[in-house]
């Protein structure tokens, strides 16, 4: 007799990036994920352990806690790994908790609790990207619209130092360019789209205007745009494309500037200041929003938490006498003698000299991750975690700050990020 | 626990108790008429005993409000809960929850400790424009509104824009003016037992209100910018419309220096979180001119610190000598009594929100009781000092504040919403089809809030 296989269809929220696409349809059979529909490669890499840029290459899933002994990572029981992690962090004079932009909000809350307890600095992985943005808001004010409204109403979209095809692939089809909004019913035909980038990216295929600049020309371009907006000085711009961009921007009824990490690579603070000033100036006559494109799936949740709890979307440092200090300057790793990394791959982004310096000083790293990565390979203790939104329930904030509940669909023996953090708090 | 509060002066307009020295008995979470053996006796000698405060318009969790913390003017949600409790409040009602920000608002509300919470669903009439125009499918509209209310876990309906306008001229054929909109809303209220809170404006005041009890006018003080509008507002109140005052905050604004902080919730106008500083006097004039039961106390903008913002306003209401000197002579010669104050901050807000067991001290009411140190000899001019902080606060019979100290920081709290049991119709699907979020994720799940209480 043939055995019948129970097949179940479920709707799922993708944790591939900050879009948190909620239209994924998954097929489950015998407690296993069989198929995922409507998913992009980023999402795929979360649900089937494949490499982000190479979907045919498998990513190693961590299933057992590991501890470094005689230079090699060896499997240990969870309690042993937890004790060692607690010891490392508890004995540290200056501990650092790093990452968190790819973890759920419950885990972020627990990490903040842990940071308070061990008097650590908590460093969001994308601080260098977000801090200049918040600095710009402080100076120029804010017009904020959720993606829902942008999708419905934005008729002019500018991407600055951002390539959504590489950071949040479905952003273009769900919200910003090709999406058929309520009052932009013809999708891309109802929108003007432009991009400013150092490279001739794929965006050129659908942008009416792509201004390619050299590194360091960002501020000159922004000045040039300002000069050619109505009421500007009209001085001939030093960078090609400024005049066209000024014309493009001034035709908007409802515009949005999406900026990516590219905007902050070179003189980030000044570029975001100028972009914020541009949005504010344009906003005097039309509706203009400045919007960060967060690649990590819950970056917005972390800054939201920090604003809620500490009043500053910066890195809080509980290791100072007389209270918490917050800093918008990315961390100087030389200060720290133990690091807990979760929701990020620190050693992937760290410049080689800094990574070597950490290794040379033998700074112990505790890594929590569902997958093996560069940080886990350098860590003293590795605690594997359940995948948020598939194996563990969580809450995450879409890049426009709207929270969504991530469901648990698959059983796992692995603990969730939050559970490990609470265990660590208890163990110290 | 069984508690006896003894020796206090009770103020409860619902029962006509005007400073009557009387014992109050609490059994579990309810007020009872008598008690055999109290476990605890609280002495309230020299104190006034009033129901727990209810902030009818506590703008504390609006989508985007968090950004105001960038300018250091806002306490954390944890602190906000403590400040409300210290001021003698047990319930805060957030005015701005929309269809797609419902989850956000509820998650914020859940993070506010100590006080119960609820929220108004802000209707975007663009979703209903053709239905309101034709008026022949109002039952479908009513069912949909009820369904939306339950799914977003909101307590009532609010209209920021009682009209339909589009930014795009292409859609101008779908516009609906305020008169026509109010006519449709009146029919909805009459025929389907609905009630709407309208953010007041001169335009709304100019129009007739054939069904006064169907509407609550929010932030009425802001709309009363001249004598004629004051007359119109008083006429509406006399007809039976309820309203809240919407005072401007009496404390200095955050250091925003006029920078724009605007949140686009998908309406015709964005929500302005940093409006230009307004005038306090219109709301004060309205409050003193209206002698009836229709006006509740409220702040017009985001609440930053109830301990600092509310007491000066209370003292201006209660004592003419405490009022701002500029134009003070133009104000009606009236002072609020303690009964008026309790009515405006407790009894009426509870009635408006439909919280039947709050806002009064009758047997059966939930034991939300605030004790303020206010010896009888203290003149109203000094009341602000005494109203600022409550001596003792009980919430559902549990002592939260005692001798001005927070003693139960983990007091249970809940978020209240209206259960309607309405059917989902085609209009609901039509509304959902324009969203970027699937309906099942649009509706507020259990996990985004804390201890839900559905009211029937």
**Token digits of residue B413:** 């709290």
> Which of A13, A124, A115, A107 lies closest to A415 in space, CA to CA?
A107
What's the pLDDT score for residue B279? 82
What's the pLDDT score for residue A45? 85
Angle at B259 between CA B258 and CA B261, to 5 degrees: 115
Q: Which residues of A, range 17-76, sit inside 8 Å of B by Cβ?
A: 22-23
Residues B170-212 have pLDDT tens digits of 888 899 999 999 999 999 999 998 999 999 999 999 998 888 8
Q: Which residues of A, range 223-262, sit inside 8 Å of B by Cβ?
A: 253-254
Interface test with A, best of B69, B264, B276, B435 (most A CBs within 10 A): B264
Closest B-chain CA to A25:
B438
Distance CA(B26)–CA(A288), nearest Å, equals 56
Sign of CA dihedral A265, A269, A274, A275: positive
> Which of B60, B49, B48, B51 lies closest to B306 in space, CA to CA?
B60
Residues B30-78 have pLDDT tens digits of 999 999 899 999 999 989 999 999 999 999 999 999 999 998 778 999 9
What's the pLDDT score for residue A374? 94
A370 touches chain B (CB under 8 A): no
Residue A115: helix, strand or coil by DSSP?
A: helix
Architecture of domain B52-361+412-455: Alpha-Beta Barrel (3.20)
- Write down the domain spans for chain B: 52-361+412-455
Question: Min CA distance, A320 vs chain B (Å)?
Answer: 20
Query: DSSP code of B176?
Result: B
Cβ-based neighbour number of residue B376 at 10 Å: 9
Please say if the pLDDT value at position B381 is more than 80: no
B305 touches chain A (CB under 8 A): no
Strands (E), A181-267: 192-197, 209-212, 254-259
Report chain B's mean pLDDT, rounded to a whole number.
92
**Token digits of residue B372:** 């303020």
What's the pLDDT score for residue A3? 65
Q: Report chain B residues whose CB lies below 8 A from the CB of A396.
A: none
What's the pLDDT score for residue B326? 63
Confidence of residue B433 (pLDDT cuts 50, 70, 90): confident
What's the pLDDT score for residue A160? 96
Superfamily of domain A129-292: Dimethylsulfoxide Reductase, domain 2 (3.40.228.10)
B447 touches chain A (CB under 8 A): yes
Interface test with B, best of A19, A155, A403, A407 (most B CBs within 10 A): A403
Is-contact B38 B2, C-beta < 8 A? yes
Angle between helical axes of B281-289 and B227-239 (0-180°, round to 10): 40
**Token digits of residue A358:** 């950490």
Q: Which residues of B, range 97-156, sit inside 8 Å of A by Cβ?
A: 100-101, 103-104, 107-108, 111
Q: Report chain B residues whose CB lies below 8 A from the CB of A403.
A: 103-104, 107, 448
Question: Min CA distance, A184 vs chain B (Å)?
Answer: 10
Parts of chain A belonging to CATH 3.40.50.740: 66-126+297-427
What's the pLDDT score for residue B278? 76
Question: Min CA distance, B63 vs chain A (Å)?
Answer: 8
Question: Cα-Cα-Cα-Cα dihedral of A238, A241, A243, A246, to 10°?
Answer: -120
Domain covering A66-126+297-427 in this structure, CATH number: 3.40.50.740
Among B78, B266, B270, beta carbon nearest to A148: B266
Q: How many helices (H) and strands (E) does chain B have?
A: 15, 23
Distance CA(B62)–CA(A187), nearest Å, equals 30
Parts of chain A belonging to CATH 3.40.228.10: 129-292
Q: Do A404 and B72 touch (CB under 8 A)?
A: no
Angle at B92 between CA B87 and CA B98, to 5 degrees: 150
Cβ-based neighbour number of residue B378 at 10 Å: 13
Give the number of beta-carbon pairs within 8 Å between A and B: 125
Cβ-based neighbour number of residue A406 at 10 Å: 27
| DSSP string for residues in B312-332 | HHHHHHH-GGGS-STTGGGS-
Please say if the pLDDT value at position B123 is more than 70: yes
Q: CA distances (Å), A425 to each of A9, A97, A99, A118, A210, in order?
A: 38, 13, 18, 9, 50
> Which of A199, A164, A167 lies closest to A179 in space, CA to CA?
A164
Please say if the pLDDT value at position B395 is more than 60: yes
User: ipTM score here?
Assistant: 0.94
What's the pLDDT score for residue B449? 86
Q: Which residue has the tokens 């003080």?
A: B221
Question: Min CA distance, A296 vs chain B (Å)?
Answer: 19
Residues B270-327 have pLDDT tens digits of 999 888 777 888 999 999 999 889 999 999 988 888 988 898 898 889 888 888 766 6
Is-contact A24 B441, C-beta < 8 A? no
Please say if the pLDDT value at position B114 is more than 60: yes
Q: What is the pLDDT along chain A (428 residues), one digit of tens a residue?
A: 566 778 889 999 999 999 999 999 999 988 888 899 999 988 888 888 777 777 778 889 999 999 999 989 999 999 999 999 999 999 999 999 999 999 999 999 999 999 999 999 999 999 999 999 999 999 999 999 999 999 999 999 999 999 999 999 999 999 999 999 888 888 888 999 999 999 999 999 999 999 999 999 999 999 999 999 988 877 777 788 999 999 999 999 999 999 999 999 888 999 999 999 999 999 999 999 999 999 999 999 999 999 999 999 999 999 988 889 999 999 999 999 999 999 999 999 898 999 999 999 999 999 999 999 999 999 999 999 999 999 999 999 999 999 999 999 999 999 999 999 999 999 98
What's the pLDDT score for residue B253? 63
A147 touches chain B (CB under 8 A): yes
Among A147, A153, A313, beta carbon nearest to B436: A147
Closest B-chain CA to A181:
B434
Q: Do A141 and B67 touch (CB under 8 A)?
A: no
Q: Which residue has the tokens 């058929």?
A: A180
> Which of A203, A143, A44 lies closest to A400 in space, CA to CA?
A143
Distance CA(A312)–CA(B388), nearest Å, equals 28
Confidence of residue B328 (pLDDT cuts 50, 70, 90): low
Distance CA(A224)–CA(A222), nearest Å, equals 5
Among A23, A134, A153, beta carbon nearest to B167: A153
What's the pLDDT score for residue A85? 97
Is-contact A92 A338, C-beta < 8 A? yes
């Amino acid at each position: 007799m043939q055995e019948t296989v129970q097949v179940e269809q479920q709707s799922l929220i993708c944790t591939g990036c900050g879009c948190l696409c909620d239209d994924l349809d998954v097929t489950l059979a015998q407690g296993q994920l069989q198929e995922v529909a409507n998913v992009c490669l980023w999402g795929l890499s979360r649900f089937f352990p494949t490499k982000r840029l190479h979907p045919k290459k498998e990513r190693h899933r961590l299933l057992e806690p590991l501890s470094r002994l005689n230079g090699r990572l060896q499997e240990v029981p969870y309690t042993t790994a937890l004790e060692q992690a607690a010891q490392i962090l508890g004995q540290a004079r200056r501990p650092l908790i790093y990452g968190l932009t790819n973890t759920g909000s419950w885990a972020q809350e627990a990490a903040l609790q842990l940071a308070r307890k061990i008097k650590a600095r908590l460093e969001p992985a994308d601080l260098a990207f977000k801090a200049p943005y918040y600095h710009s808001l402080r100076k120029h004010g804010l017009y904020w619209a959720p993606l829902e409204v942008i999708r419905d109403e934005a008729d002019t979209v500018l991407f600055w130092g951002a390539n959504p095809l590489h950071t949040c692939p479905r952003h273009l089809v769900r919200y910003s360019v090709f999406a058929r909004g309520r009052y932009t019913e013809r999708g891309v035909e109802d929108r003007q789209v432009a991009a400013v980038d150092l490279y001739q990216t794929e965006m050129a295929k659908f942008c009416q205007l792509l201004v390619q600049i050299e590194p360091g020309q960002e501020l000159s371009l922004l000045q040039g745009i300002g000069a050619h907006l109505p009421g500007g000085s009209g001085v001939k711009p030093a960078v090609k494309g400024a005049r066209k961009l000024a014309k493009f921007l001034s035709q908007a009824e409802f515009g949005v500037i999406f900026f990516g990490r590219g905007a902050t690579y070179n003189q980030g603070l000044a570029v975001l200041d100028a972009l914020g000033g541009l949005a504010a100036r344009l906003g005097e006559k039309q509706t203009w929003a400045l919007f960060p494109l967060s690649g990590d799936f819950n970056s917005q949740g972390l800054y939201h938490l920090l604003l809620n709890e500490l009043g500053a979307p910066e890195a809080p440092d509980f290791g100072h006498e007389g209270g918490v200090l917050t800093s918008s300057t990315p961390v100087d790793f030389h200060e720290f003698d133990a690091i807990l990394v979760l929701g990020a791959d620190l050693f992937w982004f760290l410049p080689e000299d800094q990574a070597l310096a950490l290794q040379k000083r033998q700074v112990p790293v505790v890594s929590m991750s569902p997958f093996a990565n560069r940080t886990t390979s350098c860590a003293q203790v590795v605690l594997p975690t359940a995948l948020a939104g598939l194996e563990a329930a969580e809450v995450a904030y879409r890049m426009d700050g709207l929270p969504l509940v991530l469901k648990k669909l698959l059983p796992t023996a692995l603990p969730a990020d939050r559970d490990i953090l609470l265990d660590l708090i208890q163990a110290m | 626990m069984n508690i006896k509060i003894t020796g206090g002066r009770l103020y409860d307009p619902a029962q006509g108790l005007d400073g009557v020295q009387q014992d109050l008995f609490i059994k579990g979470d309810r007020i009872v008429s008598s008690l055999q053996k109290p476990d605890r006796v609280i002495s309230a000698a020299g104190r006034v005993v009033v129901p727990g405060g209810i902030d009818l318009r506590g703008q504390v969790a609006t989508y985007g409000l968090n950004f105001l913390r960038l300018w250091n003017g806002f306490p954390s949600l944890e602190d906000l809960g403590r400040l409300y409790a210290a001021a003698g409040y047990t319930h805060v009602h957030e005015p701005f929850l929309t269809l797609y920000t419902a989850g956000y608002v509820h998650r914020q509300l859940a993070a506010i400790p100590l006080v119960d919470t609820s929220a108004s669903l802000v209707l975007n009439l663009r979703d209903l424009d053709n239905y309101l125009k034709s008026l022949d499918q109002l039952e479908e509209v009513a069912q949909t509104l009820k369904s939306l209310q339950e799914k977003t876990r909101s307590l009532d309906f609010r209209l920021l824009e009682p009209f339909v306008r589009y930014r795009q001229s292409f859609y101008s054929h779908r516009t609906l003016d305020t008169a026509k909109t109010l006519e449709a809303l009146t029919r909805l209220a009459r025929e389907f037992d609905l009630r709407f809170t309208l953010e007041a404006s001169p335009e709304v005041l100019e129009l007739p209100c054939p069904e006064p009890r169907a509407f609550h006018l929010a932030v009425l003080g802001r709309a009363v910018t001249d004598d004629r509008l004051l007359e119109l507002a008083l006429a509406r109140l006399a007809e039976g419309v309820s309203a809240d005052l919407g005072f401007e905050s009496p404390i200095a604004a955050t250091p925003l220096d006029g920078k724009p902080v605007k949140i686009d919730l998908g309406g015709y106008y964005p929500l302005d979180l940093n409006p230009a500083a307004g005038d306090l006097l219109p709301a004060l004039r309205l409050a003193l001119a209206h002698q009836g039961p229709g006006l509740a106390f409220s702040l017009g903008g985001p609440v930053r610190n109830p301990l600092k913002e509310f007491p000066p306003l209370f003292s201006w209401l209660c004592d003419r000598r405490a009022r701002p000197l500029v134009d003070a002579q133009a104000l009606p010669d009236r002072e609020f009594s303690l009964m008026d104050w309790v009515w405006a901050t407790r009894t009426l807000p509870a009635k408006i929100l439909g919280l039947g067991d709050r806002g009064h001290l009758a047997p059966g009411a939930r034991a939300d009781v605030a004790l303020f140190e206010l010896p009888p000899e203290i003149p109203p001019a000094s009341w602000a000092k005494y109203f600022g902080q409550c001596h003792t606060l009980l919430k559902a019979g549990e002592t939260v504040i005692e001798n001005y100290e927070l003693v139960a920081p983990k007091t249970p709290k809940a978020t209240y919403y209206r259960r309607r049991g309405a059917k989902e119709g085609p209009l609901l699907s039509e509304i959902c089809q324009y969203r970027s979020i699937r309906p099942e994720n649009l509706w507020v799940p259990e996990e985004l809030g804390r201890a839900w209480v559905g009211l029937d």
